[in-house]
Amino acid sequence: MKRAEFVEKRGAMAKNSILELIDLLDSDDLPTRFFAEMCLRDATNT
């Protein structure tokens, strides 16, 4: 994944609510779980 793609995907994922991000942690898709966890940590300052 190129840097621009990473930034775009992270930005798109960050628009989800905390509850939506928590739900995405259960995804079978590893990249989705990765970005959901990253954005959830950003959203909760952990």
Which residue range forms the structural domain that includes residue 9?
3-44
The total number of structural domains in the chain stands at 1
* pLDDT tens-digit map of 1-41: 899 999 999 999 999 999 999 999 999 999 999 999 999 99
- pLDDT given for residue 1 in this prediction: 85
Whole-model pTM: value is: 0.86
- Count CA within 13 A, CB hemisphere, residue 8: 5
Tokens 């959203």 map to which residue? 43
Which SS3 state, helix, strand or coil, does residue 6 take?
helix
